[in-house]
Chains A and B, each alone.
Chain A
């Protein structure tokens, strides 16, 4: 993939310089998103960059006259893989949003307004999707069930997902992860401290490693 067009980077992604790097990060994020029990912060900028690239490559290929070259075939295969990667990433996120849109929106607002480390859980389009979807869903329930309930029973609690006990397999990618604390099951007030060496693998509660996964320092398996 050396003769790809170079791309204009978003300002946020100054640190990522090459298409390979974008793809590598996308793959990592896709894998993490697939394995994580809850929604991770949005990486839609990456998706946008890749979509841009796909378009560029497609244009390149269609300009080629001899369609039978092996090089073209390889490019196309790669293109298909990237398309799958991005589409599946987006689909996976949509599934998670659809599973509990209200909770997702709530969390998004919480984390956005976090003073120390504001993070956008949803991208703009995703937020819009979540809101519209939540509305449609609410309307469906309203029309079929809630409408007929006595006043006292009209309120339905939003289920809160609990990821406390979700275990994940995680692989350490970065040197400076350091130590991670895990609740000690024998003594609930105590905590265990685990050392996270580079490229070691752990079966560990998701909550303990969540920040590292979100930063891309750990990879879920």
Chain B
């Protein structure tokens, strides 16, 4: 069932008063991490004991419920659980599951058929959900009481009964067909809603417990959804305006900013920022080189790339000297000047949050979100909990300023984040230069031939950014490439050699139209799996549009996917 608003009463106070142990099942992504940080802060304030379990796959969630079957628990699932039916998990009778998940759409059984599952939804989102009416999708059981009368009464009555049943069956079949249509439409595409941390921020505000830290965690969580390309810039801005605004001014002491005085306190400000990844921790040249916008504008994967980008810089009036040295080492005036120029060039309306802590440099929530996301997803050799703890440490260090932890943060940005961007750019440039993207009926297909680190391929951040970048770069080479989706396949090496990671992005034209960034790729994969069960597909990820496919089944998969898209 759905909980709309009044989370304090129906959610928080319930878990607080209940005498059951509290288990947080946390998907390892930045938004979930930020949400958990806020939630645990609230729980600590109230002296409520809890357990945190980290998960990355559906099978891990299932395993947790299997081993905990006999315990009386309140579960809180963070960024996992909403899109598949939790009824199958056999939650014990005394337990309740609260689901705070930004994955959409909800599984219909979680909405209507399961009293033990509570989905937390902001009521402003209800219309977007387009939930089908309950009577259209859920069958009521109590209409078979006539069965007992069989073989009784006169011939006419029996005939009457049979006829009535036949009508009934007909009705049922019609209803079933209707139901299938409704569900098909309902499940057609998947998308992401507002990041969960925003909901938690509002909950904390309702309880008067918002602090600068909570505010910052939310800012990072929100930005992480943005840098992962889960939500569109329009939606991001809308959330900032509609839901974050009440908090923006609270942690920004105006008088200090105006006086230009520096102190050792934490300030959170909200302001314009270049949509240029980690440029303040890199040099502008590299940052622009690997940026989607500039890369496509200068087509820097071609031989003329370098000349083009220099040309662009000259046009903008930025000296090469300014772009090749570390951005941090530029003088303040230069920085403001250059950023101004680039902002005009990129014509962006992007604004984000900044944390200033004493004398250490200003950090943008966007860069921190990148660092946290990358740290949470890599390296795979570390256990999930180790990565979770490391991500947590980085997130915390961005505002506590402990030197050791701070070094970790800058190190993550300067090595892992840069590398991710570089690998992403290289994959795109290789794909285009070597014409590895081919049209296959209703979609474009990219099969990666070079081997990429497994760490990257398993990272949602990398996959979504690379495929999105790739489709745009591909479309920029020739007109008329905006109406088909791109399916990308990356071969895995090492332990899981013989498997491919498959993902996809919606056509550019669709992306422009839709601020929710709905995608039907996941549904198409699912359909392929349904039509031919012999194809070996692992769909264990919380994101239905990232699956694993056995390499030998590749050709059959490609054909069936074609049918799946054409069938639409």
Partner-B contacts on A (CB < 8 A) = 66-68, 73, 76
Contacts and interface: CB of A to CB of B under 8 A. Distances in A.
A27 to B, nearest CB: 25
A4 B46 CA distance: 23
B17 interface: yes
9 contacts: A66-B17, A67-B19, A68-B16, A68-B17, A68-B46, A68-B47, A68-B48, A73-B47, A76-B47
Contacts of A67: 19
4 pairs of A and B residues whose beta carbons are closest in the complex? A73-B47, A68-B16, A68-B46, A68-B17
Contacts of B47: 68, 73, 76
Chain A CB count within 10 A is highest, among B17, B19, B46, B47, for B47
A76 B49 CA distance: 14
Main secondary structure of the interface of A (DSSP, over half): loop
B49 to A, nearest CB: 11
B209 to A, nearest CB: 14
B19 to A, nearest CB: 8
A67 B46 CA distance: 10
A45 to B, nearest CB: 33
Contacts of B46: 68
A76 B47 CA distance: 11
B529 to A, nearest CB: 47
Nearest to A77: B47
B48 to A, nearest CB: 8
Nearest to B13: A68
Contacts of A66: 17
Contacts of B16: 68
Contacts of A73: 47
Contacts of A68: 16-17, 46-48
A68 B48 CA distance: 8
Nearest to A67: B19
Nearest to B48: A68
Given A66-B17, A67-B19, A68-B46, 6 more contacts: A68-B16, A68-B17, A68-B47, A68-B48, A73-B47, A76-B47
Contacts of A76: 47
B15 to A, nearest CB: 11
Nearest to B46: A68
Interface string B1-34: 0000000000000001101000000000000000
A86 B535 CA distance: 68
Interface string B42-54: 0000111000000
Nearest to A66: B17
A150 B47 CA distance: 65
A51 B104 CA distance: 56
Nearest to B47: A73
B558 to A, nearest CB: 57
A67 B16 CA distance: 10
A73 B16 CA distance: 14
A76 B46 CA distance: 13
Nearest to B17: A68
B8 to A, nearest CB: 14
A68 B49 CA distance: 11
A68 B19 CA distance: 10
A67 B48 CA distance: 10
A96 B47 CA distance: 37
A68 B17 CA distance: 7
A73 B48 CA distance: 11
A68 to B, nearest CB: 6
A94 to B, nearest CB: 32
Contacts of B48: 68
